[in-house]
Structure 1
Amino acid sequence: QHTHPYVISDLYTDIQQGYLLLDLLEVLSGQHLPREKGPNNTFRYRSNIENALTFLKSKSLKLINIHVADIIEGKPSIVLGLIWTIIFHFHIEELARTLACTYNQPSLDCSSAVDSSSKAIQSANESSKIKERWKISATKALLSWAKEQCSLHGSINVTDFKSSWRSGLPFLAIIQALRPGVVDLEQAKARSNKENLNEAFRVAELELNIPRLLEPEDVDIVNPDEKSIMTYVAQFLQYSRNLHETEEDTQEKVREAMSWLAAQEKKLAKLLVDTENETYYQKYKEMMSFMESFSQEKKAFLPVLSSKRSEAELSEDQQQMREEWDKLISQINEWKAKLDQMLPSPLGNIEAWLQEVEHLQAEDLPDLQDPFKAMFVFRETIVIFKGLMDHFDSHLDTLQSFKNEDEKNMPLVLPEKLDEMKRRL
């Protein structure tokens, strides 16, 4: 979702340079964060990571035992701890905040409402304590919501985000509460834990459009990971919030989104005409400017544009909006692809090679029942990948030695594009 989309192939490696971290925080916060520019080196990576951690600390997030050096080394436990902190603050806390008053938890919003009459001014230390208390209550609020959904269906008891979910029944109970009739709880009580978990994750993905973040073996163990289960359960709360909007609210949001989409389409069409005879450098610069404003403006419409509802649940206007959104994204991607084809030699060849490798990495292997066929397909993919990687060293040398100026000493390509290609390589 970033202005310059980033393909993550290995979290522990990709996070080491700091770009991924800054991109992620910019998307989640909607803010522009400072980043070090210049040649890729340890100093630059360290500076970018420090900027990201400083930003998180400014949000009163406690980063216990998370140090720059550990992230540069890609230490799994530190990287996962950092990502969890980000997920909890920007996703789970934000979702659970809406439940705080309902379940008598001390949210920041509730406390500010109480203090406003007396004009109380809290010190930075007091504010930090409240946020820490809210972090605990966010977990409690989410758990209370899960308990409430499960209580609608008899004796399904939830006391934590660990072993309570092992049977799979709480997941199925929440699905039944949100979408009555899509699961059979009585039948589930006679099935194994693994069967119930598999069914819950399958139905959630198929009927509620909730990504399958877990597998049965992640949950049906003695001590399942609390953070993973919380992150997954939060997706159901998000779905619930989308369901409870009034029809009038939804229609108004759809109308606003449709108006914005139409304006963006006109803006894009005009930009294509205006830059038709410009240099590649200028075309790319205009595209970056468009994408920056596009990415900022779309945040207001993302909840309605990325609705988790299936096609069958969408109104005619919502279906039209989704079609317009897909159409606009397709036009933007087409524009980007044309610009990539216009890259000056030899960058064009490197870009085409990068896209081919990324496509191969992202492509799922077919689910073949025949093990011999599966092995043949797998070997074929490996051969193709090895063939592509034979060109890696030469492309790397070419990119690093590329002289970015024409005969008039003017830049051929924006430095940001070169940085993006180096990062992807």
Structure 2
Amino acid sequence: MASGVAEEDDGGIPLDIDNVHMLLQVEHEQIQKRTFTNWMNAQLSKRCPPSFVSDLFSDLRDGSQLLDLLEVMSGQPMKRQRGRGVFQQRANIDTALNFLKKKSIKLVNINIPDIIDGRPSIILGLIWTIILHCHIEELASTLSYSSSARPPPLPAGRMSPLHKRFRISAKKALLMWVRDQCQKVGCSVSVKNFKSSWRSGEVFLAILCSLRPQLADLSLVQSRSNQENLEEAFHLAERELHIPRLLDPEDVDVPDPDEKSIMTYVAQFLQYSNDMPAPDDHLQLFPVVQPFSLSPVNLPAQFTPAVAVSPLRQVSPSERALEVTCWLQQTYDELSEAWTATEKSSFAEKYQVFQNLFGSFTEQRRPVMTLLAAVRRCPELSQEQCALRTAWDRLEAELQRCKADLDSSLPPPLDSVVVWLQRAEEALTEEGGGVTDHAGAAKKQELNKTRKRL
């Protein structure tokens, strides 16, 4: 028996700390199941024809709903095997997992047999991975450019512009956005996490007021109970903002709310914020920025991927998609040309060019990410939207190619170390590797430390 009794169960029997921890895990699992099921059905309702999940643990075993979800999130059609046999089930799940891996999404200990068997921890882990990487991170990527809360600047020359903008996690970026919304409406709650900070319901109401002023009366918060505030917030969000109700008040008004469930729900408010047209959204699609110089190596004098549309004219969705596609194609051409010119350059020169290329690209990519996020939520894509996705994937692949080429340019013995790191990372992601979650995470952390020391 562990020292100290945390609480007693209904029969008056004291529970040790291990039993309390187990009960909390079960409670969080139940809340996650409800939240993730509601979230998944909200996404599947956008599909044509829509589909539906009634039991998250059993309905994913044939892989078809999983493919439906990835179609909605990616905007791409997914090939599938028809039928309910084990072969078809395995093939569909394998297609889904391979699609995620090709998107550089790490899947730790998520195997086909576990999904077919409906193992709760595996199913919840898989859906959370999709929510985090395909939804929350995509939304939070825009916050690296728009949030007014900035982390302190780093010493000059220590990181590339890309790393400077993405050195915070999606979780921290989302938390920064929440604090921004609270500050706008004078909410005094100190939002420190996605757990206890949300229990009173005041932060949810503050976000609502920030997005839709006068929608809720924050002066009434202190006179109501936590569950009354939460019910008011969830009801208003569903009725006025059409944000699906993923949580119930009793899920949040507990001593230890589930972090992943709250993050999943809050991300919908950020999505609503991103979908709101800016006051001058019809005037200009891309900001006019100064081009980067690609010195010191002998490359084209200017790198100018920005595309400025004519002001004072409204842009239709098709025209906007076409203009962004043109920008992506131009960026791809200039990126390829600039990188080809570094073929005989030293690693230091290549690294400098890589910094400049990525810096210029990331300074101007926010409108693209916002538009791509909207496109991915469309059940059916137009010809212009399909061309936009193709152009983005092509540019993304070219950027990865440049990075791989940069890694391979390291002088001995660092080049062999990089090869070893890459192989180690690939080994950790292999199915059936027998690495536990904690062990795998620890090994990946060590690999990242090794990379940083290079």
Q: TM-score, normalised to structure 1's length? A: 0.52
Partner of 2:95: 51
Assess, with a 3 A threshold, how the Cα gap between structure 1 residues 298 and 181 changes in structure 2: closer, same or farther: farther
Assess, with a 3 A threshold, how the Cα gap between structure 1 residues 135 and 232 changes in structure 2: closer, same or farther: farther
Alignment length, in residue pairs?
Answer: 248
Q: For 2:141, which of 92, 97, 121 is the aligned residue?
A: 97
Letter in 2 for 1:87: I
Partner of 2:128: 84
Task: Return the alpha-carbon distance in structure 2 between the equivalents of residues 194 and 157 of structure 1.
Answer: 19
Question: How is 1:317-396 mapped onto 2 (pairs within 5 angstroms)?
Answer: none
Partner of 1:33: 78
Higher RCO by CA contacts (8 Å cutoff, separation 6 or greater): 2
Question: How is 1:107-118 mapped onto 2 (pairs within 5 angstroms)?
Answer: 114=160
Cα offset, 1:61, TM superposition = 1.4
Deviates more, 1:138-147 or 1:185-194: 185-194
What SS does structure 1 have at the residue aligned with 2:106? coil
Whether the aligned pair in 2 keeps the contact of 1:143 and 1:160 (CA below 8 Å) is yes
Whether the aligned pair in 2 keeps the contact of 1:105 and 1:141 (CA below 8 Å) is no
Task: Return the alpha-carbon distance in structure 2 between the equivalents of residues 209 and 256 of structure 1.
Answer: 25
Identity between Structure 1 and Structure 2 (%):
52
Partner of 2:179: 147
Cα offset, 1:149, TM superposition = 1.2
Task: Return the alpha-carbon distance in structure 1 between the equivalents of residues 242 and 167 of structure 2.
Answer: 28
Task: Return the alpha-carbon distance in structure 2 between the equivalents of residues 38 and 178 of structure 1.
Answer: 44
Q: For 2:238, which of 205, 226, 229 is the aligned residue?
A: 205
Letter in 1 for 2:171: T
Partner of 1:74: 118
Partner of 1:224: 257
Question: How is 1:399-418 mapped onto 2 (pairs within 5 angstroms)?
Answer: none
Question: How is 1:233-272 mapped onto 2 (pairs within 5 angstroms)?
Answer: 233-246=266-279, 249=282, 252=314, 256=318
Q: For 1:297, which of 374, 377, 382 is the aligned residue?
A: 382
Cα offset, 1:248, TM superposition = 5.0
The reply on whether 1:179 has 2:223 as its aligned counterpart is no
Task: Return the alpha-carbon distance in structure 1 between the equivalents of residues 106 and 75 of structure 2.
Answer: 21
**CA-to-aligned-CA distance 1:144-177 (integer Å, 9 cap, x gap):** 0101111231421100001100000101111111
Assess, with a 3 A threshold, how the Cα gap between structure 1 residues 197 and 243 changes in structure 2: closer, same or farther: same
Whether the aligned pair in 2 keeps the contact of 1:166 and 1:221 (CA below 8 Å) is yes
Partner of 1:280: none
Q: Which runs of 5+ in 1 are unaligned?
A: 107-112, 117-129, 258-292, 302-425
Letter in 2 for 1:14: D
The reply on whether 1:8 has 2:53 as its aligned counterpart is yes
The reply on whether 1:23 has 2:108 as its aligned counterpart is no
Whether the aligned pair in 2 keeps the contact of 1:169 and 1:188 (CA below 8 Å) is yes
Whether the aligned pair in 2 keeps the contact of 1:26 and 1:32 (CA below 8 Å) is yes
Assess, with a 3 A threshold, how the Cα gap between structure 1 residues 134 and 49 changes in structure 2: closer, same or farther: farther
Deviates more, 1:229-238 or 1:3-12: 3-12
What SS does structure 2 have at the residue aligned with 1:17? coil
Partner of 2:414: none
Assess, with a 3 A threshold, how the Cα gap between structure 1 residues 155 and 69 changes in structure 2: closer, same or farther: same
Assess, with a 3 A threshold, how the Cα gap between structure 1 residues 163 and 70 changes in structure 2: closer, same or farther: same
Assess, with a 3 A threshold, how the Cα gap between structure 1 residues 115 and 164 changes in structure 2: closer, same or farther: closer
Whether the aligned pair in 2 keeps the contact of 1:18 and 1:45 (CA below 8 Å) is yes
Cα offset, 1:11, TM superposition = 2.4
Task: Return the alpha-carbon distance in structure 2 between the equivalents of residues 63 and 247 of structure 1.
Answer: 41
**CA-to-aligned-CA distance 1:186-213 (integer Å, 9 cap, x gap):** 1112211111101111111122221111
Task: Return the alpha-carbon distance in structure 2 between the equivalents of residues 15 and 299 of structure 1.
Answer: 33
Letter in 2 for 1:193: N
**CA-to-aligned-CA distance 1:270-296 (integer Å, 9 cap, x gap):** xxxxxxxxxxxxxxxxxxxxxxx9823
Q: For 1:156, which of 178, 181, 189 is the aligned residue?
A: 189
Letter in 1 for 2:169: S
Q: For 2:223, which of 190, 193, 211 is the aligned residue?
A: 190
Task: Return the alpha-carbon distance in structure 1 between the equivalents of residues 202 and 384 of structure 2.
Answer: 35
Cα offset, 1:297, TM superposition = 2.1
Q: Which runs of 5+ in 2 are unaligned?
A: 1-45, 153-158, 284-312, 320-377, 387-454
Task: Return the alpha-carbon distance in structure 2 between the equivalents of residues 208 and 184 of structure 1.
Answer: 16
Assess, with a 3 A threshold, how the Cα gap between structure 1 residues 105 and 51 changes in structure 2: closer, same or farther: farther
Assess, with a 3 A threshold, how the Cα gap between structure 1 residues 248 and 54 changes in structure 2: closer, same or farther: closer
Letter in 2 for 1:236: F
Assess, with a 3 A threshold, how the Cα gap between structure 1 residues 28 and 253 changes in structure 2: closer, same or farther: farther
Letter in 1 for 2:250: E
Cα offset, 1:5, TM superposition = 3.7
Assess, with a 3 A threshold, how the Cα gap between structure 1 residues 6 and 115 changes in structure 2: closer, same or farther: same
